[in-house]
Amino acid sequence: MSKLLKKPKKREVSEGVTVVQEVTQENSPLDFVEFKIVELSQGSEYSESLNKKECCIVALTGKINVTVGEETFRDLGTRESVFEKVPTDSIYVSNNNHFQVEGLTEARVALCYSPSEKQLPTKLIKAKDVGVEQRGILSNKRMVHNILPDSNPAANSLLVVEVYTESGNWSSYPPHKHDQDNLPDESFLEESYYHEMNPPQGFVFQRVYTDDRSLDETMTVENGDVVLVPAGYHPVGVPDGYTSYYLNVMAGPTRIWKFYNEPDHEWILKR
């Protein structure tokens, strides 16, 4: 079994609250990225104290309230399915804070974490403020929702984006990496991919590999899976008939996204 592919594993933490994905430093090869998917029933509540971590709370589906300290952000969330392809609301919470998420409806929430020492203000990232970007040409097209890009100084380390890739297309392509602390040419960022498919019985292929092939895994990725990228190139291929969604979390010692394309495949950008 791949150490980079994590299947959903449901764990009920309280009445109406189920953790279905949980990536930690203890169960993964990542040092800078942790990740959870939490499902809430209507009226249920999930709470957590962050200690030395920052967190971006993404309202994937349904409606939620989020309370951080004495401040409550109400009626967050814009969609019943991620495949409505509209941006959603998120909340950035800095380290040493306590937060609570309440399900106003049935809801699915992504919790994106990175180690953090410097206290920053809590920030509401409204759906209308999320930048929407079209990338690529031909069979390399995808749509990106920039929830917490490096141009937004709200976080210490976290970078968070959503990506949609249509049937028969490739994404995170041509293969690129960001595993060297070699600025201004390349930054070191670990990454996680949370995948959903439409229709949900679909699958995608994702390869994670390094130049020396000491890491080289090609995975069949299904709905709800998480792929971990501690290093290396990490392209995604989407079969005919299915649409791919993934939520990317990146973090590292410097909060900037500078990637390096694999030279053998960079020629396709010149078409």
**What pLDDT, in 10s, does the model give residues 97-115?**
999 999 999 999 999 999 9
pLDDT of residue 270: 86
d(CA 126, CA 229): 28
- Confirm if 126 and 58 have CB atoms less than 8 A apart: no
Q: Answer yes or no: is pLDDT of 1 > 70.
A: no
Whether 271 has a pLDDT exceeding 90, the answer reads: no
Q: What is the CATH number of the domain that holds 95?
A: 2.60.120.10
Average pLDDT of the chain, as a whole number: 97
For the stretch 170-188, pLDDT in tens is: 999 999 999 999 999 999 9
Tell me, what's the pLDDT at 176? 97
The single residue listed with the structure tokens 């190139």 is: 233
pLDDT in tens, 10-49: 999 999 999 999 999 999 999 999 999 999 999 999 999 9
Distance, in Å, from the CA atom of 127 to the CA atom of 143, rounded to the nearest integer, reads: 15
DSSP string, 14-38: ETTEEEEEEE-TTTSS-SS-EEEEE
101 phi, psi to nearest 5 deg: -115, 125
pLDDT beyond 70 at 137: yes
Burial status of residue 36 (CB atoms within 10 A of its CB: 0-12, 13-18, 19 or more): buried
Model pTM?
Answer: 0.97
Domain that holds residue 127: 5-270
Provide the b/e sequence for 190-205 (b: ≥16 CB within 10 Å). bbbbbbbbbeeebbbe
- Per-residue pLDDT averaged across 259-266, rounded? 95
Determine the pLDDT at residue 77.
98
Total domains in the fold of the chain: 1
| CA distances in angstroms from 56 to 73, 161, 265, listed in the order given | 14, 11, 33
DSSP 233: B
Q: List the structure tokens of 22.
A: 């949980």
Q: Encoding tokens for residue 87?
A: 């941006």
66 confidence band (pLDDT: 50, 70, 90): very high
